[in-house]
Amino acid sequence: MTISIIGAGPGGLTCARILQKHGIPVTVYDRDPHPRARNQGGTLDLHADDGQLVLREAGLLDEFFALARPEGQEMRKLDPAGNLVEHYVPAEGELFKPEIDRGQLRGLLLDSLEPGTVRWGSGLEKVEAPGVLRFADGATVETDLVIGADGAWSRVRPAVSAAVPEYSGITFLEAWFDDVENAHPELAALVGQGSAMAADGNRCLFAQRNSGDHIRVYVIQRLPADWVGSRGTPELRAGLLDAFSGWSPSMLRMITDNDGPYVDRPLYVLPVPHTWEHTPSVTLLGDAAHLMPPLGVGVNLAMLDACELALALAGSSSFVEAVEVYEATMLPRSEKFARQLENGAEGLLEVD
Ligand SMILES: Cc1cc2nc3c(=O)[nH]c(=O)nc-3n(C[C@H](O)[C@H](O)[C@H](O)COP(=O)(O)OP(=O)(O)OC[C@H]3O[C@@H](n4cnc5c(N)ncnc54)[C@H](O)[C@@H]3O)c2cc1C
Q: What is the CATH number of the domain that holds 282?
A: 3.50.50.60
* Residue 325 included in any domain: yes
Q: Give residue 136's domain range.
A: 3-48+100-165+270-344
- State residue 194's pLDDT score: 98
Q: Looking at the chain, which runs of residues are DSSP E strands?
A: 3-6, 27-29, 43-45, 75-78, 84-88, 99-101, 118-119, 124-129, 132-135, 140-142, 145-148, 166-177, 195-199, 203-210, 214-222, 263-269, 282-284
Q: For residues 257 and 149, give the distance between their C-alpha atoms in angstroms, rounded to a whole number.
A: 36
| Residue of 15, 40, 44 best suited for mutating to test ligand 1, as the one with most atoms within 8 Å of CB | 44
Q: For residues 293 and 211, give the distance between their C-alpha atoms in angstroms, rounded to a whole number.
A: 24
36, pLDDT greater than 90: no
For residue 248, name the pLDDT band (cuts at 50, 70, 90).
very high
For residue 350, name the pLDDT band (cuts at 50, 70, 90).
very high
* Residue 55 included in any domain: no
Asked if residues 177 and 183 have their Cβ atoms less than 8 Å apart, the reply is yes
Q: What is the mean pLDDT of residues 275-298?
A: 95
Which protein residues touch ligand 1 with a CB less than 6 Å away? Answer: 6-12, 29-32, 42, 44-45, 123-124, 149-151, 155, 172, 265, 286-288, 294, 296-300, 302
* Residue 86 included in any domain: no
| Residue of 31, 69, 170, 264 best suited for mutating to test ligand 1, as the one with most atoms within 8 Å of CB | 31
Looking from the CA of residue 152, the nearest atom of ligand 1 is 30
* Residue 26 included in any domain: yes
Q: What is the mean pLDDT of residues 220-237?
A: 93
Q: What is the pLDDT of residues 119-173, one digit of tens each?
A: 999 999 999 999 999 999 999 999 999 999 999 999 999 999 999 999 999 999 9
Strand, coil or helix: what is 25? Answer: coil
Q: What is the mean pLDDT of residues 235-257?
A: 96
- State residue 352's pLDDT score: 81
- State residue 39's pLDDT score: 79
Q: Please, what's the b/e burial string for 87-100 (b: 16 or more CB within 10 A of its CB; e: otherwise)?
A: eeebeeeeeebbbb
What's the CA-to-centroid distance between 102 and ligand 1, angstroms? 9
**pTM recorded for the entire structure:** 0.96
For residue 38, name the pLDDT band (cuts at 50, 70, 90).
confident
Residue 157 annotated as binding site:
no
297, pLDDT greater than 90: yes
Q: What is the mean pLDDT of residues 64-93?
A: 97
- State residue 40's pLDDT score: 78
Straight-line distance from the first to the last Cα atom of the chain, in angstroms, rounded to the nearest whole number: 52
Q: For residues 204 and 251, give the distance between their C-alpha atoms in angstroms, rounded to a whole number.
A: 11
* Residue 171 included in any domain: no
* Residue 66 included in any domain: no
- Which residue's CA is the nearest one to ligand 1's atom 4? 294
Total count of residues recorded for the chain: 352
What's the CA-to-centroid distance between 31 and ligand 1, angstroms? 13
Share of the chain above pLDDT 70, in %: 100
Residue 27 has phi, psi (to 5 degrees) of: -125, 135
What's the CA-to-centroid distance between 79 and ligand 1, angstroms? 30
Q: What is the pLDDT of residues 306-324, one digit of tens each?
A: 999 999 999 999 999 999 9
- State residue 343's pLDDT score: 84
What's the CA-to-centroid distance between 203 and ligand 1, angstroms? 25
* Residue 178 included in any domain: no
Q: For residues 343 and 328, give the distance between their C-alpha atoms in angstroms, rounded to a whole number.
A: 25
**Average pLDDT of every residue of the chain:** 96
How many contiguous H segments (helices) and E segments (strands) does the chain have?
11, 17
- Which residue's CA is the nearest one to ligand 1's atom 3? 294
CA of 36: how far to CAs of 104, 106, 140, 183, 263, in Å? 11, 10, 25, 25, 18
Would you list the DSSP string of 189-257?
HHHTTSEEEEE-SSEEEEEEEETTTEEEEEEEEE--TTSSTT--HHHHHHHHHHHTTTS-HHHHHHHHS
Q: Which of 188, 202, 216, 191 is nearest to 245 (CA)?
A: 202
The total domain count for the chain is 1
* Residue 72 included in any domain: no
DSSP state of 91: P
Q: What is the pLDDT of residues 51-65, one digit of tens each?
A: 999 999 999 999 999
